[in-house]
Amino acid sequence: MQIALITREYPPEIYGGAGVHVSELVKVLREYINVDVYCMGKPRPDAHSFTIGNDENFALEVMKTNIEISEAISKKNYDLVHSHTWYANLAGQISSLALGVPHIVTAHSLEPMRPWKREQLGSGYEISSQIEKQALEGASKVIAVSHGMKLDIEEHYPSLNPLNIQVIHNGIDPKVYKPTHNPEVLQKYGIELNKPIVLFVGRITRQKGLPHLLNALHDVETFAQVVLVASSPDDTQIEREVKEQIASLQSERHRSLVWIDSHVPLAELLVLYSEASVFVCPSIYEPLGIVNLEAMACETAVVASSVGGIPEVVTHGATGLLVDYVPGDTLKFEQGLATSINELLNDSHRAHEMGRRARSHVVDNFDWSRIARNTIELYESLVAK
């Protein structure tokens, strides 16, 4: 099979879960089939890259880039086109029509579930929403990265036949993400060696729920230190809000709060995951949450919001604790986060056992080789038709 896979993110330019998914999936797919990657950004040796313009309306520039990509793909022979996120869906749809081949869309998130993106894109949000809608409704098959995501697709795109939506989870490479210890990494970032760590890793965006966690931290045990690996704010408003909250917490907790607002190399991130007593994922929307898989693979217990696909990753009471998120009652959510974090901080033996079970759960159920095999089987079934 000859597959054209289209994505915005591809190494070395990765900033979110979709980029991680594509990067890891392509590695394994290429062991079995021929995959050409079409991405956006700077030139790179193992993909066809296309530059996004600098026009004020970013969504329009993405559309123009999609046209260029579809023109390039249409000049070659492919058996199937596979696109990831709205950034690439239009190119997938056009090139599949031009070649007369199936188009698979992997839905990593849904625009209707992220209304705060209007703060970023303005009128471009209407463009991204329409591109996503047309691509999902016109696709030969839609891959949902969790059963929770499948339900969201069915709710927001009722014209889709549920049988046309297939769940294939995100994954992890347990040979890379594993318990890793290096006290020099902690010292580099000013993290104390002998104090429990409450860790957050994620972008500064409404979706990741960082403001809720910062509110909750006022009630978290002061004998623990908080480490926030948080950067790339969506807009100036949330950036200002988070800075004010962190400043308040730092004055309250003194040296027991460390904010790392820059890129952390993977080798160092593995150490932070592994040294954490509790990893916290306070997302208010999360189709699956690769970050939880990463922490769990490093044998760390997780406290996470019970939204989207997270309950398919974190087993409440066994590999971590889940906290209900109700949009109309954020105070209860924040109190629930604090209570659950404290529960594990005050029972280190239980947290350790959860971390041990967490890694086993990830290795058994979320290995990329299994996910790639499921993806190839889907490719074969569509190409055969």
Q: Give the mean pLDDT of 154-161.
A: 95
pLDDT band at 254 (very low <50, low <70, confident <90, very high): low
pLDDT band at 104 (very low <50, low <70, confident <90, very high): very high
Domain identity same for 347 and 215 = yes
Domain identity same for 120 and 136 = yes
Domain identity same for 210 and 321 = yes
pLDDT band at 60 (very low <50, low <70, confident <90, very high): confident
Report yes or no: 59 and 121 within 8 Å, Cβ to Cβ.
yes
Flag whether pLDDT at 253 surpasses 70: no
Residue 177 lies in a domain: no
Domain identity same for 101 and 10 = yes
The predicted structure's pLDDT at residue 145: 94
Greater pLDDT, 263 or 97: 97
Helix or strand run (H / E) with residue 274: helix 266-275
Domain identity same for 242 and 267 = yes
Report yes or no: 277 and 224 within 8 Å, Cβ to Cβ.
yes
Residue 288 lies in a domain: yes
Flag whether pLDDT at 123 surpasses 90: no
pLDDT band at 307 (very low <50, low <70, confident <90, very high): very high
Q: Tally the domains of the chain.
A: 2
Greater pLDDT, 54 or 349: 349
Flag whether pLDDT at 127 surpasses 70: yes
Residue 178 lies in a domain: no
Domain identity same for 238 and 358 = yes
Domain identity same for 360 and 374 = no
Range with the lowest mean pLDDT among 9-23, 282-296, 305-319? 9-23
Domain identity same for 376 and 295 = no
Flag whether pLDDT at 377 surpasses 70: yes
Domain identity same for 39 and 98 = yes
Residue 287 lies in a domain: yes
DSSP state of 44: B
Closest C-alpha among 17, 106, 108, 25 to residue 292: 17
Q: Give the mean pLDDT of 94-118.
A: 91
- pLDDT tens profile 62-83: 999 999 999 999 999 999 999 9
Residue 205 lies in a domain: yes
Q: Give the mean pLDDT of 33-59.
A: 91
Flag whether pLDDT at 86 surpasses 90: yes
Flag whether pLDDT at 255 surpasses 60: no
Residue range(s) defining the domain that contains residue 356: 183-365
Amino acid at 217: L
Domain identity same for 276 and 161 = no
Residue 229 lies in a domain: yes
pLDDT band at 120 (very low <50, low <70, confident <90, very high): low
Residue 176 lies in a domain: no
Q: Is 109 helix (H, G, I), strand (E, B) or coil?
A: coil
Instruction: Give the whole-number percent of the chain exceeding pLDDT 90.
Output: 80
Domain identity same for 157 and 259 = no
**pTM > 0.85: yes or no:** yes
User: Within 13 Å, how many C-alpha atoms sit on residue 172's CB side?
Assistant: 27
Residue 342 lies in a domain: yes
CA angle 196/320/293 to nearest 5° reads 95
Question: Tell me, what CATH number does 194's domain have?
Answer: 3.40.50.2000
Widest CA span in the chain? 63
The predicted structure's pLDDT at residue 357: 98
The predicted structure's pLDDT at residue 237: 86
Report yes or no: 7 and 41 within 8 Å, Cβ to Cβ.
no
Distance, CA of 146 to CA of 254 (rounded, Å): 40
Domain identity same for 360 and 375 = no
Range with the lowest mean pLDDT among 109-118, 215-224, 277-286? 109-118
Which residues contact residue 217 at a Cβ distance below 8 angstroms, ignoring those fewer than 6 apart?
Answer: 198, 226, 249, 253, 257, 338
Distance, CA of 121 to CA of 113 (rounded, Å): 15
